[in-house]
Amino acid sequence: MNPDNLKRIKVEVRAELGRGWKEVGDLAEMGEGSIIVLDKLAGEAIDVLANGKLIARGEVVIIDENFGVRVTEVVVGEEC
């Protein structure tokens, strides 16, 4: 396979701010202004995942009214 072809393979990239848990009954009662508490602290790095695997951590940035992630750490080894 040509190495340049590998560069064109698409993977899903997701930035995960955190996770929260709710009971189904609580979700049914949610409305505008409801809050879901996440498992990360304010200012803590967010996770960047490729096809569901952790590949990096970073911080949220805003570019031209769009959210982005500035990578601050590339994850290698056992964590991947």
CB 21 within 8 A of CB 37: no
- The residue among 78, 77, 60 whose CA lies nearest residue 69 is 60
Cα gap 52→13, rounded to integer Å = 8
pTM of the predicted protein model: 0.73
Query: What residue has token string 């072809």?
Result: 5
Domain segments of the chain as ranges: 12-21+35-79
- pLDDT (0 to 100) of residue 42: 85
> What percent of the residues of the chain are helix, what percent strand, and what percent coil, each to the nearest 5?
15, 35, 50
Per-residue pLDDT tens listing for the chain (80 residues):
677 888 889 999 999 999 999 999 999 999 999 999 999 888 899 999 999 999 999 999 999 999 999 999 999 876 55
The CATH H-level (homologous superfamily) assignment of domain 12-21+35-79 is SpoA-like (2.30.330.10)
